[in-house]
Chain A
Amino acid sequence: DTEVTQTPKHLVMGMTNKKSLKCEQHMGHRAMYWYKQKAKKPPELMFVYSYEKLSINESVPSRFSPECPNSSLLNLHLHALQPEDSALYLCASSPLAGGVGDPFFGPGTRLTVL
């Protein structure tokens, strides 16, 4: 299994809702990432987990809450989002954080906040 899966593929939520994005990989990678990509822009890093511990938070607002329950799974919990948070959320994994291993990207979850 050489892929990163993300669910759901699309998500529409209101500003008062609570939802979660899920990312899974079974490649034995020990680093996992959340990126945010606005339309016509490059991805921007949000969080890095290394060995299930949060190693980087790129000053992301607290309405985004990451969680790494085990080495294969990465969640992003969403609460009280704003319309400007609408974007493509990409999960990625790599064998180790900072090594030469290729970051594998998932297909993304397209989030719309109403």
Chain B
Amino acid sequence: AQSVTQLGSHVSVSEGALVLLRCNYSSSVPPYLFWYVQYPNQGLQLLLKYTSAATLVKGINGFEAEFKKSETSFHLTKPSAHMSDAAEYFCAVSVRGSSNTGKLIFGQGTTLQVKP
């Protein structure tokens, strides 16, 4: 069964500093992995996804993530944090199998705080 673990429920960085949000996955088949961002009182917006092509995935708003099979990780990074990056971030894995459901399993989420 697939699962996702996000390390750190709360991350605080200064504006301009590196953002690193950690995600580890468990999957018995090659996974599809996603990072979503959720601003207060809004839905989820896709930042980027890994679907077995390039292991370094670039997304919107300057974010990128690297798929590391040996470490079962898919950490999200951004070189320089902006105040507008403050939000909730969810890592997710797409459940794949014979039923091909398209079901997403989400991590518990990480709240990113950006200090001026």
Binding site for B on A (CB under 8 A): 4, 6, 31, 33, 40-45, 48, 50, 55-56, 90, 92, 94, 96-100, 102-108, 110
A52 to chain B, nearest CB (A): 15
Which of A40, A42, A94 sits near B102, CB closer than 8 Å?
A: A94
Contact A99 B102 (CB under 8 A): yes
A11 to chain B, nearest CB (A): 14
Chain B interface SS verdict (over half): loop
Contact B101 A48 (CB under 8 A): yes
Residue among B32, B34, B44 having the largest count of chain A Cβ atoms under 10 Å: B44
- Contacting A at CB under 8 A, from B56-75, are none
Provide the bound-state CA to CA distance between A4 and B43, in Å.
10
Contact B43 A42 (CB under 8 A): no
- Contacting A at CB under 8 A, from B23-77, are 32, 34, 36, 41-46, 49, 51
Residue among A6, A50, A103, A107 having the largest count of chain B Cβ atoms under 10 Å: A103
Q: How many residues of B contact A (CB 8 A)?
A: 24
Chain B residues positioned under 8 Å from A110 (CB to CB): 41
Pairs across A and B, CB under 8 Å, 25 listed: A6-B43, A31-B102, A33-B103, A40-B109, A42-B106, A43-B44, A43-B104, A43-B106, A44-B106, A45-B103, A50-B102, A56-B103, A90-B44, A92-B44, A97-B101, A97-B102, A98-B99, A100-B49, A102-B34, A102-B46, A103-B46, A103-B102, A103-B104, A105-B45, A107-B42
Contact B42 A98 (CB under 8 A): no
Provide the bound-state CA to CA distance between A55 and B103, in Å.
11
The answer to the question of B100 belonging to the interface, with a C-beta cut-off of 8 Å to chain A, is yes
Contact A100 B32 (CB under 8 A): yes
B68 to chain A, nearest CB (A): 20
